[in-house]
Amino acid sequence: MVWRLAMLFALITTLGCFSGRPDLDFGNVHGKVTLQGKPLADATVRFQPESGRPSYGKTNQAGEYTLNFMGKEWGALVGKHQVAITTEDRIENPETGEARWQPEILPPKYNTQTELAAVVESGENEIDFTLDEMKKGAKRP
């Protein structure tokens, strides 16, 4: 009987750990990404904190993004972040299911060797990125 109660307690405790928002400080983050003065659509924006999990967002046709933490609308951890923006992705048409590969048009200084950084504070954060160059030989989709 004691063993069953202990197992039930362990199960309830474990389920409780995954049911809600983590006990961390978050800030809501949204913004706009432009490339050479025009909105950059279908780019992935990653905020990587100094320690902890990153947050991700995808730009829409207007270049606007909103960050998600672990797939939830919690934003990003409060603090300093290294930011990477990439266009390389597999894009699927939701109506037809047909997929196409979108190549990287941004130079490494915006993604694999990023020079971008941001600070996330508690509350609302509007963080825009104005990118001024494309990868040599790349063309906008």
Predicted local distance difference test score (pLDDT) of residue 11: 44
Average pLDDT, consecutive stretches of 10 residues, N- to C-terminus, the chain (141 residues): 47 47 86 97 96 96 97 92 96 87 95 97 97 90 69
**pLDDT at position 21, please?**
57
Structure tokens at 46: 């990653």
60: three-class secondary structure by DSSP: coil
Do the Cβ atoms of 54 and 47 come closer than 8 Å? yes
Residue-level pLDDT at 31: 98
CA–CA separation, 79 vs 121, rounded Å? Answer: 6
Domain 25-131: assigned CATH number: 2.60.40.10
pLDDT at 12: 47
Instruction: State residue 20's pLDDT score.
Output: 62
In this prediction the pTM is 0.79
- 53: nearest Cα among 71, 66, 65, 33: 71
The predicted structure's pLDDT at residue 13: 46
pLDDT on residue 93: 85
Cβ atoms 46, 59 nearer than 8 A: no
Distances (CA, A) of 55 to 1, 9, 10, 30, 72: 44, 32, 30, 11, 9
70-to-30, 47, 56, 63, 76 alpha-carbon distances in Å = 16, 12, 8, 22, 10
